[in-house]
A and B are shown apart, each in its own frame.
Chain A
Amino acid sequence: MNHQFELPGSYKKWTYGLIVAGVVALLYGFIAFHPFASPGHEVSSTRFWAVLLQNSVYWLLVVNASMFFICVTTMAMGGWQVALRRVPEAISSVVPILGVITFVVLMAIVWGGRTDIYPWLDKAAVANDHILFGKRKFLSPEFFTIWSGITIFLWWLLGKKMRSLSLKTDEQGTMDYETGKKWVWNNTVFASLFAVVFTLTVASTIPWIWLMSLDPHWYSTMYSWYTFASTFVAGVSLIALFIIYLKNKGQLEYVTDEHLHDIGKFMFAFSVFWTYLWFSQYMLIWYSNQPEETKYFIQRIGTATKAGPFSTIFFVNLIINFLCPLLILMKRGAKRNWTLMTVMAGLIIFGHWLDFYQMVMPGTMHDKAELGLFEFGVPCLFIGLIMWGAGRYISGHSLLAKNHPFLKESMIHHT
Chain B
Amino acid sequence: MAGGIKKFVVGCFDDEKVLFPAVKNVRKAGYKIHDVYTPFPVHGLDHAIGMRETSIHTAGFIYAITGTTTALTSISWIFTKDWPLNIGGKPHFALPAWIPITFELTVLFSAIGMVLTFCYLCQMAPFVKKHHFHPRATDDLFVMAIECTDKTNDAEVQAFLTQAGASEVNVQHAETGWWIGRYDREQKLYKEPKAIN
Chain A interface (Cβ < 8 Å from any Cβ of B):
279, 282-283, 286-287, 289, 304, 330, 332, 414
Chain B interface (Cβ < 8 Å from any Cβ of A):
43, 57, 61, 88, 91, 96-97, 99-100
> Which residues of B lie under 8 Å from residue A414 when comparing CB positions?
43
Output the nearest chain A residue to B57 by Cβ-Cβ distance. A332
Going nearest first, the 5 A-B pairs with the smallest beta carbon separation are A283-B96, A286-B96, A279-B99, A287-B97, A282-B96
Please classify the interface of chain A as helix (H, G, I), strand (E, B), loop, or mixed, using the class held by over half of its residues: helix
Pick from B43, B88, B91, B97: contact of A283, CB under 8 Å: B97
> Which residues of A lie under 8 Å from residue B100 when comparing CB positions?
283
> Which residues of B lie under 8 Å from residue A332 when comparing CB positions?
57
Output the least CB separation between B95 and chain A (Å): 10
Besides A279-B99, A289-B88, A332-B57, 12 other CB < 8 A contacts? Answer: A279-B96, A282-B96, A283-B96, A283-B97, A283-B99, A283-B100, A286-B96, A287-B96, A287-B97, A304-B91, A330-B61, A414-B43
Output the nearest chain A residue to B53 by Cβ-Cβ distance. A332
- Most A CB within 10 A of own CB, among B57, B88, B96, B97: B96
> Which residues of B lie under 8 Å from residue A304 when comparing CB positions?
91
> Which residues of B lie under 8 Å from residue A279 when comparing CB positions?
96, 99
> Which residues of A lie under 8 Å from residue B88 when comparing CB positions?
289
> Which residues of B lie under 8 Å from residue A283 when comparing CB positions?
96-97, 99-100
| Distance between Cα atoms of A304 and B95 in the complex (Å) | 14
> Which residues of B lie under 8 Å from residue A282 when comparing CB positions?
96
> Which residues of A lie under 8 Å from residue B97 when comparing CB positions?
283, 287
> Which residues of B lie under 8 Å from residue A330 when comparing CB positions?
61
> Which residues of B lie under 8 Å from residue A289 when comparing CB positions?
88
| Distance between Cα atoms of A304 and B94 in the complex (Å) | 12
| Distance between Cα atoms of A289 and B88 in the complex (Å) | 9
Output the nearest chain B residue to A286 by Cβ-Cβ distance. B96
Output the least CB separation between A307 and chain B (Å): 16
Output the least CB separation between B89 and chain A (Å): 8
| Distance between Cα atoms of A286 and B98 in the complex (Å) | 12
Output the nearest chain B residue to A287 by Cβ-Cβ distance. B97
A sample of 15 inter-chain contacts (CB < 8 A) reads A279-B96, A279-B99, A282-B96, A283-B96, A283-B97, A283-B99, A283-B100, A286-B96, A287-B96, A287-B97, A289-B88, A304-B91, A330-B61, A332-B57, A414-B43
| Distance between Cα atoms of A48 and B97 in the complex (Å) | 39
> Which residues of B lie under 8 Å from residue A287 when comparing CB positions?
96-97
Output the least CB separation between A180 and chain B (Å): 26
Output the least CB separation between B20 and chain A (Å): 15
| Distance between Cα atoms of A414 and B100 in the complex (Å) | 35
| Distance between Cα atoms of A290 and B61 in the complex (Å) | 38
Output the least CB separation between B99 and chain A (Å): 6
Output the nearest chain A residue to B61 by Cβ-Cβ distance. A330
| Distance between Cα atoms of A279 and B100 in the complex (Å) | 10
| Distance between Cα atoms of A286 and B88 in the complex (Å) | 12
Output the least CB separation between A386 and chain B (Å): 36
| Distance between Cα atoms of A286 and B89 in the complex (Å) | 12
> Which residues of A lie under 8 Å from residue B57 when comparing CB positions?
332
| Distance between Cα atoms of A174 and B100 in the complex (Å) | 52
- Most B CB within 10 A of own CB, among A287, A289, A330: A287
> Which residues of A lie under 8 Å from residue B96 when comparing CB positions?
279, 282-283, 286-287
| Distance between Cα atoms of A283 and B43 in the complex (Å) | 44
| Distance between Cα atoms of A287 and B89 in the complex (Å) | 10
Output the least CB separation between B60 and chain A (Å): 10
> Which residues of A lie under 8 Å from residue B91 when comparing CB positions?
304
| Distance between Cα atoms of A161 and B61 in the complex (Å) | 45
Output the nearest chain A residue to B100 by Cβ-Cβ distance. A283
